[in-house]
Amino acid sequence: MRSRERNSESPDQKSHTPQDNMRTPKMVYCGSFRHFLILLMVLVLGLVSLGVLHLPQFKTEPKPYSWRIDHGHRKLLHSFVRSVLMKECRPDFVRREMKTRFNHSNHVTDHFLWEDTPLTASMFQYPPPFGFRDMRSKLTDIFDLLPGRTPQWHGRKPCQRCVVVGNGGVLHGLALGPLIDQFDIVIRLNSGPVKNFSKDVGSHTTIRMSYPEGSPRTWDDVDSSLQFVVVIYKSVDFNWLKAMITHKQVSLWDWLFFWQKVPDNIPIETSQFRILNPEIIREAALDLLHLPEPHPRLWGWDQNVPTIGISALNLATYLCDEVNLAGFGYNLSQERAPLHYYDSLPMTSMLHQPMHNVDREGALLRALAKAGVISDLTGGGPLQLLSQRRGQGSIMSCSQQAPALLFTTCSWNCLE
């Protein structure tokens, strides 16, 4: 009986053999490592999900806004743009005016970064997009891939007019394309297409300015001298830029940190890539918009990142003698008005963005246009006065009510 009782001990009461004792640490180690991997994956997915939740979830409007462009208004608009092109160009006009109106904390000497660009302390004061804090090595890695400083443009005119073309739905149906192409420098934003839309927005591109998620996945710019200006918003953007320059694939790990699919190829020559000096964005935020100093959160920023349209405008004041805008303007009260000229996203998509102070940007652009520092080619400023004198009313009409032009970019896609 005693022997049978000993054999009937429960499994928990059985003594471990030496072999069992040898396996125990390994099993504990494997289990702990497995738990660590699971926790790491949960953390990464959680951060990515957090970023996605803080970004706008665009849904296409099932019933696109029905535009009806009045021929008289279109004719009036074309007349105004022609008058801008026919006037004598004023050398250094816009930069001189900007210096008069704004107290710049630092003058930007190089708007694009080159290997011989003096890397100032202020350039590394903030993380992207306001600076390159703790990213000097990533920056120098890109410098090693790019050729040295090259002339901005061959055959540059003594006085250059430029137009910054936003992606606003206000461009749709205006047939401004041939006039836009007559400007000396045409700056386009993010993935704003020209193919199939050249009648309204033109086909010439001097500069396309974007960040990874906003860049065209289908490239349709045909200008061989085009410059692709990359805006760095986060550390992984350097990795994407390096992959585009070297024509290599973006790593799977890097893909996790993009909020939407990014292009896997930018079909241009290495000499056509440019890196935007982050001081252009910092200057736009702190000196032009008077936003508070950057204070990063766990994910994103507190509505102190300028839209890419405002950043492009500030860049243009360094590149050009005169600056004009086209395709800027939205009115959030017109909920079903189209946000972009190339899709049917409604104006309400702007309500979901957490990063840009569009009211303050609107006030800035209104002030610049009213003072004559810049010209808005698709509405506002001189055009409104011309319309009032001729009794023509608004620039366009539609099946309901046309969006008012509030002088701020419609070209926003998450971080635009």
Domain extents in the chain: 78-398
- DSSP 8-state code for residue 314: H
Look at strands 322-326 and 207-210 and give their pairing: unpaired
- When pLDDT is cut at 50, 70 and 90, the band that residue 32 belongs to is low
> How confident is the model at residue 204, as a pLDDT?
97
Q: Which residue pairs from 232-239 have beta carbons closer than 8 angstroms and sit at least 24 positions apart in sequence?
A: 232/128, 232/129, 232/132, 232/275, 232/276, 232/278, 233/128, 233/129, 233/415, 234/128, 235/128, 235/135, 235/138, 237/128, 237/211, 237/212, 238/135, 238/138, 238/139, 238/141, 238/142, 239/138
Distance CA 280, CA 347 (A): 28
Strand ranges (E), 73-200: 161-165, 185-189
Dihedral sign (CA 127, 132, 137, 138):
positive
Q: Nearest Cα to 143, choosing from 119, 121, 127? A: 119
CA 190/CA 228 separation, integer angstroms: 10
| Spatial distance between the Cα atoms of 221 and 192, rounded to a whole number of angstroms | 10
Asked if pLDDT for residue 276 goes beyond 90, the answer is yes
Q: What is the mean pLDDT of the chain?
A: 78
Contact 374, 323 (CB under 8 A): yes
pLDDT for 288 beyond 90: yes
Q: Which of 69-83, 195-209, 347-361, 398-412 has the highest mean pLDDT?
A: 195-209
pLDDT(415) > 60:
no
Decide if pLDDT at 30 tops 60.
Answer: no
Helix (H, G, I), strand (E, B) or coil at 302: coil
Q: Which of the pair, 124 or 358, is modelled with greater confidence?
A: 124
Cα gap 162→173, rounded to integer Å: 22
Question: How far, in Å, CA of 92 to CA of 384, rounded?
Answer: 26
3-state secondary structure of 379: coil
Q: How far apart are the first and last CA of the chain?
A: 84
What is the predicted pLDDT for the residue at 349?
A: 67
CA-based nearest residue to 343, from 109, 64, 82: 64
Say whether domain 78-398 belongs to CATH 3.90.1480.20. Answer: yes
Higher-confidence residue of 153 and 284: namely: 284
Contact, 214 vs 196, CB < 8 A? no
Q: Which residue has the tokens 């003072």?
A: 371
Please give the pLDDT value at position 350. 64
More confident: 12 or 199: 199
Average pLDDT over residues 104-118: 86
Question: Between the CA of residue 302 and those of 17, 70, 291, 299, 362, what are the distances in Å?
Answer: 61, 41, 10, 10, 18
Predicted local confidence at residue 374, as pLDDT: 96
